[in-house]
A and B are shown apart, each in its own frame.
Chain A
Amino acid sequence: QKEVEQNSGPLSVPEGAIASLNCTYSDRGSQSFFWYRQYSGKSPELIMFIYSNGDKEDGRFTAQLNKASQYVSLLIRDSQPSDSATYLCAVNYYNTDKLIFGTGTRLQVFP
């Protein structure tokens, strides 16, 4: 069974710090990787996606992918209290039309 694993947290960081969120996946046949942010009672919103090994930066966010080790991470620089939310890692497996979500990591940024 294809799985996506995340530490549920909460991960607490002070304002201005770097938050590091990690995700591992079980199937090497994974094709694309996504990070979503979800506020309580709301639907997810896409933060980043990454397809190739290495880093991808977008503003304060950096996604890192290591297919050999089967992990993908999200770094949030200069964390703000408004970044406090649950971050969901999602994986699209090769040759399927499905997006499999991890359980999410709750991030708390305190002033």
Chain B
Amino acid sequence: GAVVSQHPSWVICKSGTSVKIECRSLDFQATTMFWYRQFPKQSLMLMATSNEGSKATYEQGVEKDKFLINHASLTLSTLTVTSAHPEDSSFYICSARDSVGYEKLFFGSGTQLSVL
């Protein structure tokens, strides 16, 4: 299947700093990418839908100024957690699809963010 690469896998940062997470589709073009957040023993919560060349669509309750999403090309979307706080510590997962239909949705390996 298609490969979605997500980096970094782990990041530890100090409170107040910003962290950038990259999501790349390696062998297909992804017009749409999705960003999820998962707290321990909870399900994946959709944060935003990232569309190439346009502004991301954020889910209710997700602060767009805190979680900056950029989808500048058909193979790259980035999520920047600005002014991170301990409550932002979570597992962040991106996903991308290469066609219509979720059976073609592929997930990145996830990024575990720990904010001290």
> Cβ of A99 and Cβ of B34 under 8 Å apart?
yes
Counting chain B residues whose Cβ lies within 8 A of the other chain, the interface size class is: 20 to 34
A46, A92, A101: the one within 8 Å of B44 (CB): A101
B49, B93, B112: the one within 8 Å of A98 (CB): B49
B6, B44, B45, B49: the one within 8 Å of A44 (CB): B44
A78-97 vs B, CB cutoff 8 Å, 1 = contact: the mask equals 00000000001010100001
> Cβ of B43 and Cβ of A104 under 8 Å apart?
yes
Q: Name the residue of chain B whose CB is nearest to the CB of A45.
A: B107
Q: Taking beta carbons and an 8 Å cutoff, which residues of B are in contact with A? A: 6, 32, 34, 41-46, 49, 91, 93, 101-103, 105, 107-110, 112
> Cβ of A103 and Cβ of B42 under 8 Å apart?
yes
Residues of A within 8 A of B112 (CB): 41
Asked if A43 is at the interface of the complex by the 8 Å CB criterion, the answer is yes
Residues of A within 8 A of B108 (CB): 43
Q: Taking beta carbons and an 8 Å cutoff, which residues of A are in contact with B? A: 8, 32, 34, 41-46, 49, 88, 90, 92, 97-104
Distance in angstroms between the alpha carbons of A109 and B49 in the assembled complex = 36
Distance in angstroms between the alpha carbons of A8 and B40 in the assembled complex = 13
> Cβ of B46 and Cβ of A99 under 8 Å apart?
yes
Q: Name the residue of chain A whose CB is nearest to the CB of B93.
A: A43
Distance in angstroms between the alpha carbons of A32 and B6 in the assembled complex = 26
Distance in angstroms between the alpha carbons of A46 and B2 in the assembled complex = 12
